[in-house]
Chains A and B, each alone.
Chain A
Amino acid sequence: MVRIDGRDDAMVTRLEGSEEELELAAWEALAGVHDPEIPPLSITDLGIVERVRVSHGSVDVDLLPTFAGCPALDVIREDVTAAIEAVLPGRTARVRFVYAPPWTSDRITPEGREALTRYGLTPPARGPSTPMIPLASLRRVEGGAACPFCGALDTVLESAFGPTLCRSTHYCRACRNPFEAFKPKAAR
């Protein structure tokens, strides 16, 4: 591997190397791209990077959109292209959104869940989907999300819909604060 600037950090520019090394460099670059709607969360921790393939003149990146109508997709595409082409100059980044397998919130990494909590957004419940009812003002749903402010579980879901497609709105009975969570999975 040739390191053209001789630095030893992760963002060093790679011209050549084994396929594995170049792909690793690409993944490291992607870890530096963040969701513009949830700034502390990288797209790798969000789990939307499905595949990276480095070939002679190009880097193909397959991304899984969280929600089809997410307005951040265009920004993410541009940021991914810039990040890849910065560490692998001379190669064209080709970003593709693919829909199989569908993204689910189970793809968020433990680091991603921590980042969400620090940001004040409760991470979604893991595993099989729990019954989710959207309008707690109509039918109150107990629990399900821990309050990001006080940690209490004495919370109710107010609505499955929130300020962005990927957020739901909740209320904490313990500290009496409204809060947002990463949208829970819908029950089948």
Chain B
Amino acid sequence: MTAPEDPRVGLLLSIADDELVMGHRHSEWTGWAPHIEEDLAFSSIAQDEIAHARLLYELAEPLTGRTPDEMALGREPREYRSSWLCERPNGDWGYSIARQFLYDTADAVRLEALTASSWTELGDLVKLMQMEERYHLDHGRAWFERLSAGPVTGRQRLADGLSAGIGEAVALFEPLPGEEGLVANGVLPRPTADLLSEWLGAIGEELEAASLDFVLERHGSSSGEMVPTSSGEMEGEEQAFSAPGVARREGRWIHEGGFSGAGGRFGRHSEDFLPLWEEMTGLFRAHPGARW
């Protein structure tokens, strides 16, 4: 299964594999988060995301002939359809929070669109997911607002996280295999380009409101925002950056084509995926058929 024959499978896996891999990353904070409320928050969000992946694998079962466990843990790396954003290690707390905010705001846009899917079982399932995703959205947004308001160190770490993640967040919306057909028959009610436009416009406004929209222009390993330190010196350095294909036109942030960190929907992964896959699937591969 290098390319799913049925585009519906590719659609389901684009969401399910994101949720599975994101859940796996979130679960790595269990026991390590900066305080216990966040330990519980990330653990709970991880539990929700992995459960959503299972529901989507169940929906795909008649099309794939594989059980949810086989889908989650029994595939070769190239068979996964996760996006690069979800695969990255947690890194700094600021990156984890920024990524959770970017991922869940983007996820909300695609889920809302899918509530109108002509595939009613998918639409019903998505409505259930949305009820739980609202807690995740609130969590990401509360931290975004809190950290963007300072103090300087927290704001800088959030900005660095947003800079590192924004390009790959855009690539969450890379076109799906067989997308034209999915849109034509209403399974995917709106094209991915349309969803990206909606998300980018909204996230652009939120970033502007927090004066953090520079991350859309200068994304990459470090934002290079110039911030005064307690000694009065200016910190931050300019880093090389590549355009994520976004630009501000007539007061609105839009996508002009081109992606960085795309390919996940076709089974091409970041260098961080293989180590994650090896850990995530290790037990399943060592003990085929085991139950726990």
- Bound Cα distance A138, B134 (Å): 17
Segment among B46-54, B76-84, B168-176, B198-206 that sits at the interface with chain A? B46-54
Q: Name the distance in Å between A127's Cβ and chain B's nearest Cβ.
A: 16
Segment among A19-27, A85-93, A113-121, A160-168 that sits at the interface with chain B? A160-168
- Bound Cα distance A159, B134 (Å): 14
B146: CB under 8 A from chain A? yes
Choose from A70, A135, A185, A186 the contact partner of B37 (Cβ within 8 Å): A135
Chain B contact residue count (CB 8 A cutoff) = 28
**Are the C-beta atoms of A165 and B40 separated by less than 8 Å?**
no
**Are the C-beta atoms of B131 and A102 separated by less than 8 Å?**
yes
Tell me whether chain B's interface is mostly helix, strand or loop, or mixed: helix
**Residues on the A chain within 8 Å of B37, using CB:** 135, 137, 158-159, 161, 169
B187: CB under 8 A from chain A? no
- Bound Cα distance A54, B37 (Å): 45
**Are the C-beta atoms of A162 and B40 separated by less than 8 Å?**
yes
**Residues on the A chain within 8 Å of B52, using CB:** 68-69
Considering only CB atoms, which chain A residue lies closest to B52 in the complex? A68
**Residues on the B chain within 8 Å of A139, using CB:** 142, 145-146
**Are the C-beta atoms of B138 and A165 separated by less than 8 Å?**
no
- Bound Cα distance A112, B148 (Å): 42
**Are the C-beta atoms of A68 and B40 separated by less than 8 Å?**
no
Given contacts A99-B125, A100-B124, contact A67 B41 (CB under 8 A): no
**Are the C-beta atoms of B135 and A186 separated by less than 8 Å?**
yes
Pick the most buried of A68, A102, A160: most chain B CB atoms within 10 A of its CB.
Answer: A68
- Bound Cα distance A69, B128 (Å): 11
- Bound Cα distance A137, B147 (Å): 13
B127: CB under 8 A from chain A? yes
- Bound Cα distance A104, B37 (Å): 24
B272: CB under 8 A from chain A? no
**Residues on the A chain within 8 Å of B45, using CB:** 161
Choose from A161, A163, A187 the contact partner of B41 (Cβ within 8 Å): A161
Name the 4 nearest CB pairs between A and B, nearest first.
A69-B51, A186-B134, A68-B51, A100-B124
In addition to A139-B146, A160-B41, A163-B40, 13 A-B residue pairs with Cβ atoms within 8 Å of each other are: A67-B48, A99-B128, A100-B127, A134-B142, A135-B142, A135-B143, A139-B145, A159-B37, A160-B135, A161-B135, A165-B48, A183-B135, A186-B132
Q: 19 interchain pairs (CB within 8 A)?
A: A68-B48, A68-B52, A68-B55, A68-B132, A69-B50, A70-B51, A71-B47, A99-B124, A135-B37, A135-B146, A138-B145, A159-B37, A160-B138, A161-B43, A161-B44, A169-B37, A186-B134, A186-B138, A188-B134
